[in-house]
Amino acid sequence: MTDETVSAGRTVADERLSDRFDLTRVGLYAALVGLTIFYLIPVQSGFVTSIKTSEALINTQPFAPPGPDGATVEKWAFAFDALSRGLVNSLVFTVPATILCAVLGSMAAYGLTLVDWRGQVAVFVLFIAGIFIPYQSVVIPLTQFWSQYAMLDHRLGLVLSSHQATLLELIITHTAYGIPICTMLFRSQYKTMSWEMIEAARLDGASVSRIYRRIVLPLSIPMFAVVFIFQFTQIWNEFLFSLTLIGSVNDPAASTTLILSGLGEALEGVDYPLRMAGALITALPTLIVYLLFADKFAEGVRV
């Protein structure tokens, strides 16, 4: 067999492999486009519903756009006006709680992974158990705790108003509930971290806190993005704690999800365009947070 024959055979094989690869890529892209359309259908339906008048909602199909006489942005304006107070309140307790969960979770994961001390396993088991505690199981103890001790309303009553005290209660509650899962997320990264680098720093005389500040913390930035997006979304969309600690839509500390639950209700029925506009407005902050941290989020997921 000559070299020309072998070369021709390799060329044909390479072309066939290239064709198969191109077909696989086309199939993959087609599947991704199909999944994207599938997941965007509810968004399209929700947006179309939010710009319809009540009459157009009755007279048109769910996915059909409204006609010139059936379109309006008044629902968006009314929904934003109704939710503005809740948006501010939700940001006030969501951002600090998210930051505290991320920072404390990172420190706890560092202590449970890269530092050896007695009782480490028992504490680690407690963190794992904290992840699987459902919200519903802590509602009554949570209510009793804040009702019995009421330290924010009485001891700090001269400093904080009732509105501010309620928001502080939500910050503490969400932080305590979010630390276990944040710790596990950071621990998954720290388990893959180079031990040689940590040992070299120890041999140079670096303390535990210095190693964390100078080595571990800078390498944790991608995971901080992952945790921030995850925890921000969880706290922002949470409803049960807000309902338990705030209780009323008319309370000055009402969160956006609590206000949204009663938006559009009337004696004659539910105003679905108004409620859908409110739902889309409520979802915007989580979308903005994801867009801001998208690059670091993708990097952190790959870790």
Which of the residue ranges 203-212, 233-242, 265-274 has the most confident prediction, judged by mean pLDDT?
233-242
Q: What is residue 195's three-state secondary structure? A: helix
Pick 185 or 120 by higher pLDDT: 185
| pTM exceeds 0.75 for this model | yes
What is the structure's pLDDT at 159?
64
pLDDT tens, position by position, 5-24: 545 445 655 555 555 667 77
Residue 269 DSSP symbol = E
What is the structure's pLDDT at 8?
47
From CA 195, how far away is CA 216, in angstroms rounded? 11
What type of residue sits at position 273? P
pLDDT tens, position by position, 98-148: 999 999 999 999 988 888 788 888 888 888 888 888 888 888 888 888 877
Least confident stretch, 28-37, 52-61, 184-193, 231-240: 52-61
Which of the four pLDDT bands, split at 50, 70 and 90, describes residue 158? low
Residue 52 DSSP symbol = B
Q: Are 45 and 63 in contact (CB under 8 A)?
A: yes
What type of residue sits at position 267? L
The mean pLDDT value for 242-249 works out to 86
Least confident stretch, 56-60, 90-94, 149-153: 149-153
The mean pLDDT value for 279-288 works out to 93
What is the structure's pLDDT at 165?
81
Which of the residue ranges 148-157, 190-199, 241-250 has the most confident prediction, judged by mean pLDDT?
241-250
pLDDT tens, position by position, 36-80: 999 888 888 888 888 888 778 777 777 777 777 778 888 899 999
Structure tokens at 227: 């945790």
What is the structure's pLDDT at 10?
52
The mean pLDDT value for 82-109 works out to 94
The answer, yes or no, to whether residue 86 has pLDDT greater than 50, is: yes
Alpha helices in 132-269 (DSSP H): 139-148, 151-154, 162-190, 195-203, 208-211, 217-219, 221-237, 240-245, 256-261
Structure tokens at 208: 């535990």
Residue at token pair 């909602």: 57
Which of the four pLDDT bands, split at 50, 70 and 90, describes residue 235? very high
Terminal C-alpha separation, the chain = 49
Query: What does the DSSP assignment read for 97-148?
Result: HHHHHHHHHHHHHHHHHSS--TTHHHHHHHHHHHHT--GGGGHHHHHHHHHH
